[in-house]
Structure 1
Amino acid sequence: MRILAIDTSNQTLTVAVCEEKKIIGQYTITVKRNHSLTLMPAITQLVKDVGLTPNGFDRIVVAQGPGSYTGLRIGVTTAKTLAYTLKKELVGISSLKALAANCVMVKGAIIPVFDARRNNVYTGAYEYVDGVLTTVIADRHIAMEEWLEHLKEFDSLYFVGEDVEKFRTQIKAVLPNAEICDISEWQIPNGTALAELGRLAEPEVDIHHFLPNYLKRVEAEENWLKDHTSEVENYVEKI
């Protein structure tokens, strides 16, 4: 099975081409760029460099979220368009799980973290069980203070992600024995790891209704709902 994997869920953009467990090629850029301008050229160049055509894939795998609202829309829209146009399978994978997948040598709970602003995070808990990355706590949007209290039940914790450093002091104050990843290549999304997760997952049945998993409404939408709650309730009653 040949797979094209795409992750634009955060600042890092990564695209990979894999066949079964073999890496054919990968493109990753970590500097801040406009993903809407760089994603398709990156895919086009990578596909050309590995000697394939756009139709040479069996499956498109995309990081579905959570993460940057704009980044997720770009990645998911591109993946959906390619899958529909080329009549290929589409698989969505948690962006947090994809990050946790980097930590293949870690024993215990792996805690991927994305900063969600105002001391909130997108996070979850994962663990390798018999070589398979397993969800221990489902992805969520949560206050970091509350999350750290929740994690006290674990004996072994490994925090990973570029944003973890922002919370280092807070983490160590509550969980002094927690380990914080210091391996730079594990801190960012890896297209190859994403492709492997996608290889093992079931494809989407309905591509048209496949959407990013934001976990939280955008701030503008939340503010609108605060001001229009009665209108929404009246509309629901009418329906």
Structure 2
Amino acid sequence: MIILGIDASTPKGSVALLDGERIISESLSSSMYSDQFLIMVDEVLEKLEGGLEKVDAFCVTTGPGSFTGLRVGVSLIKGMVLATEKPFWGINTLEAYANMVEPASHPICPILDARKKEVYTAGFKYTEGYLSRETPDRAVSAEELCSTIKEPTIFLGGGLETYKEILSCQLGDKFLNKTQVKNQSIAASAAQIAFNQSNNKPCFDLDALTIHYVRKSEAELNRNFF
């Protein structure tokens, strides 16, 4: 199955083209503009004879993450689904991050910078080679997150650029950062999750494609305030 994956929810947006679990091509960018993602889609499709028509399904990360980026990614996928009448998956961003880690015995804690001195995070763990979720997505302060860590835990994600020093100082030996990863892009990781969800078939109903914000945007908070 040929899957085209898009991640616009993280600081380093990505597009990936996979044949099953094998990566055919991928492209990364720090831009959240929709026209840049269209260029990236064209770049990865150049590696596929027949182009977009040969894609069997799409997947997109649905958050949590950048509110603007999430809307860009979902809009792009909706456009391609309408144009091709092919199905899609929506994949949780934090799960896609956790899936990048090679199977390990330690818990996995992806983090994204949520602004307002908070991180988006969730807990995952490999059990008999399969990744499972331990905690729901949430937005918490780095200090609050540290208070929940009881054992050595693998941390990864864009939030480390801001919070690595705080986490490593407060957690000491329980903070594990250097680990082997399977993919370089979140888009590829999300597409691999989609392919392996044998009990969760891709969807054709675009109304079912929803964004997982975790908390309200600044605009929504201001609107409610006034």
What TM-score results when the alignment is normalised by the length of structure 2?
0.89
CA contact (8 A) 1:149 1:174 kept: no
**Which structure 2 residues correspond to residues 165-180 of structure 1 after superposition, within 5 A?**
165-180=161-176
Name the counterpart of 1:120.
118
* Structure 1 portions without partners, runs of 5+: 228-239
- Counting only pairs closer than 5 Å after superposition, residues 36-75 of structure 1 correspond to structure 2 as 36-75=34-73
Match of 2:22 in 1: 22
Counterpart position of 1:192: 188
SS at 2:52's partner residue?
coil
Distance in 2 between the 1:125 and 1:104 partners?
A: 15
- The count of corresponding residues between Structure 1 and Structure 2 is 223
In structure 1, the residue matched to 2:159 is 163
Q: CA deviation at 1:186?
A: 7.5
User: Would the alpha carbon gap of residues 186 and 68 (structure 1) be closer, same or farther in structure 2, given more than 3 Å must change?
Assistant: farther
| Counterpart residue identity of residue 9, structure 1 | S
Q: Supply the distance in 2 between the matched residues of 1:108 and 1:52 (Cα, whole angstroms).
A: 42
1:120 and 1:204 map into 2 onto residues whose CA distance is 33
- Are 1:114 and 1:163, in contact at CA under 8 Å, matched by a contact in 2? yes
Aligned to 1:78: 76
Residues 1:188 and 1:131: Cα distance change in structure 2 (over 3 Å): same
More moved, 136-145 vs 107-116: 136-145
Secondary structure at 1:114 match in 2: strand
1:187 Cα shift? 9.7
Comparing 181-190 with 89-98, which one deviates more in the overlay? 181-190
8 Å CA contact 1:162–1:188 kept in 2: the answer is no
RMSD over aligned Cα atoms: 2.2
Whether the aligned pair in 1 keeps the contact of 2:8 and 2:61 (CA below 8 Å) is yes
What residue in structure 2 maps to residue 13 of structure 1?
Answer: 13
Segment of structure 1 superposing worse, 165-174 or 87-96: 165-174
- The answer to whether the Cα contact below 8 Å between 1:161 and 1:187 also exists between their aligned partners in 2 is no
> Contact 1:99 / 1:187 at 8 angstroms: preserved in 2?
no
**Greater radius of gyration (CA):** 1
What letter is aligned with 1:220? A
Partner of 2:211: 212
Q: Shift of the alpha carbon at 1:170? A: 2.4
CA contact under 8 A between 1:15 and 1:27: conserved in structure 2? yes
Farther-moved stretch of structure 1 (67-76 vs 158-167): 158-167
Map of 1:230 onto structure 2 = none
Return the offset for 1:221: 0.9
Per the alignment, do residues 218 and 3 of structure 1 end up closer, same or farther by CA in structure 2, a change over 3 Å counting? same
Range moving further from structure 2, 97-106 or 86-95: 97-106
Does 1:106 find its partner at 2:99? no
Q: What is the deviation of 1:190?
A: 3.2
Q: Work out whether residues 14 and 28 of structure 2, in 8 Å CA contact, stay in contact via their aligned partners in 1.
A: yes
Aligned equivalents of 1:144, 1:192: Cα separation in 2: 28
Moved more, 115-124 or 46-55: 46-55
Identity among equivalent pairs (%): 26
Q: CA deviation at 1:119?
A: 1.8
- The secondary structure found in structure 2 opposite 1:9 is coil
| TM-score when normalising by structure 1 | 0.85
